[in-house]
Structure 1
Amino acid sequence: MSVIPEGNVRGESLFKDISADGEDWQPTEIESLCMNCYQNGMTRLLLTKIPFFKEIIVSSFSCANCGWSNTEIQSAGRIQDQGVCYTLKVKTKQDLNREVVKADSATTRIPELDFEIPPYTQKGALSTVEGLLDRAVAGLEQDQPARRAADPQVADKIEEFIQKLKKLKEVENEFTLVIEDPSGNSFVENPSAPQKDEALTVSMFKRTVQQDIKLGLRADDDLEEEPAGNDKEDLRDEVLSFNTNCPECNAPASTNMKLVQIPHFKEVIIMATNCDSCGHRTNEVKSGGATEEKGTKITLHITDPSDMTRDVLKSETCAVLIPELNFELGMAAVGGKFTTLEGLLKDIKDLIVSKNPFICGDSGTSDRVEKLKAFGENIDKIIAGELDVHFVLDDPAGNSYLQNVYAPDPDPEMTTEKYTRTFQQNEDLGLNDMKTEGYLEEQ
């Protein structure tokens, strides 16, 4: 007989929000086979919701006969539009305590040891950097007795490598941890939030056809790249609609898309998703034009509450900086937005304060919670015009915009700077390997 949570009967969501008391948490218990002693044990499934990571399934198995236990985490939310790659420079022992969400589709690498854990060889886990190292060591040590009997030389080499992994936990020398996840559902904690983390680099990337197949987004025999489109049609007066899934409850929803021309700027694509099941609404803006030859840095000195009504177009490649708060928000953190300055500041506050999973329940330390609470209060002061700050949009693709209320005259409180992109910025935008001329001659 299957176990059906009460949420299905009442029409409520199966995924409960994380809370400190956990009164509504009722895990589903399923009797299942123990793979250690082959007797029956118990698996407990908990369907919960982390604001930043959407829905997850936490499973825990324990066997009363042999004492063996196992825990894992799986993403129950949608696969993200792009993959994500986290590169962490581990310099101190405090970095080993960073919390990590590693999906089963993620690849883990330590370049200094030429070590790699391929995707789908480990189950997803909610752990720390030290926990990932311990898990790797345990996996290598598991079959050592059999290796010593079959091939002592191989066992000795693996033992030598295991000692190198264990030595990393002493952090005598700096090393690099790379987590690359095509599903976009992995995460590495930034303990300095909301400030920029100098030791952590986050980059987004487009999945390959093979990665789409592994994630189940394409059929196994669909190895062809998507065909190039026909000549561009005039769609400015037409709203396109296509079916999708709600990012909150995963119910069928619809996304509307329209081309819009922004005065004194360029053409953009506005996408809006509405869910009839849970009422969730979201919108996103993507550039409708090409990447500019130079990057753009727009700096606005906020001097009056009326500045909050300025229109803002923040592309998905744009970073947001507030120097007075020592705050920097990397590209793709809140996606593309076409809103007002007040609306963008509120979205930033929600992302850093309200929807931060590491300050929820027992995960939040008092120092971290107080620091983020103070940051939220400063954002409120900026919106109210009580704090004199500079607001910076830094877009290496040159596709972001901040309204000049004095147009066509110059704005005395706003400066726009064009700059040449660095090699790393071109790498993040995928421009270094892009060839648009003469590629047919090489075929």
Structure 2
Amino acid sequence: MSGINEDSVRGGNIIKDIGTDDDWQPTEIESLCMNCYKNGTTRLLLTRIPFFKEIIVSSFNCDHCHWSNTEIQSAGEIQDQGVCYTMKIKTKQDLNREVVKADSATSRIPELDFEIPPFTQKGSLSTIEGLLDRAVAGLEQDQPARRKTDPDVAARIDEFIQKLQKLKDVEEEFTLVIEDPSGNSFVENPLAPLKDEALTVTKFKRTIEQDKQLDDINAMRNEVLVFDTNCPECNRSAKTNMKLVNIPHFKEVIIMATNCDNCGHRTNEVKSGGATEEQGTKITLHVTDVSDMTRDVLKSETCAVLIPELEFELGMAALGGKFTTLEGLLKDIKDLIVDKNPFISGDSGVTETIQKLKEFGGKIEKVIAGEVDVHIILDDIAGNSYLQNVYAPEPDPEMTIEKYTRTFEQNEDLGLNDMKTEGYEQDN
């Protein structure tokens, strides 16, 4: 995580064996809540599990909106071989065994013909009972909507949830299989270093498909993809570079940049790596110093830009998606409105209009130079824009982030009103 400093971190030694020190406290970091955009607390625990390896446990909790999230990551590399744990659960005591489930692992309960595919859940440090609870929570998540759109399917899922819940009574023996091609999952053996007759651990060589899946995930986060396209200016063949980038305290975005060797045209475009958020987001920055011009800005294609002091508003369709600095965004606005405006030159230019546009360009230059204090507002109805908090993980005194419920018209602009995600197969 970025933004960690000596004042914001409290803790002891970096890695200790889990459960060996009652006084050992996790490292605590103040960090931004992605649900309400207020500050919450992330707790990091770098721990060594006996007879296994080091892992990083992270847990986030927001006291404002009570949103929470827990996940684990391996502190090591992908192992040479995959691993498969087969556990026979015979008593309720077996449900208390600790389990490290990497996000690349597949979980199965053969008796119920139930499987959780890899990469559908984030990694977790839990117990066998916790895994069952997490599976139930995942199935229950969309049940309220499903009961309205497809009651028959909802009833069958409710019936299956009851079967999962009943497993916790351990009235009959059942089997839990965790198969992880990365080799970074683990099921506790309480008898270690002695053999556990109820637990079978086997190593296996990854298939070509499994190797490719693990490699693709790592490569996608580091590789710049290049493909042929046409230059939007001269229509000659050009190269477009594309990369998946993780923005700290925000989310993953896709950056695309086109460079034309023929006419020299350069452009960049940004697409959100995630879905449309449930609410829109309005980010307001009070620009008080020229140093604010260096802040990173992600303006999505659904974001409008406003500067109240200049009585200026740029619609969300203009400029498209961009990942730049605040100075770069203001220069792009000046280019669009003034320098590259076809109506500012030639016979079509009206003297009064030309003068107003030039005055506006001069005001933008003064804002860039730090000579004028203004408020810059990014209003994104899809919630996919971002403005860097240079004080992160501390709150930014000059910036406010407001989430709001979209109007019917705004949902119409995003095409959400007619979007059907439940029971769509019935229309075919």
TM-score for the superposition, normalised by structure 2: 0.49
TM-score for the superposition, normalised by structure 1: 0.47
Larger Rg: 2
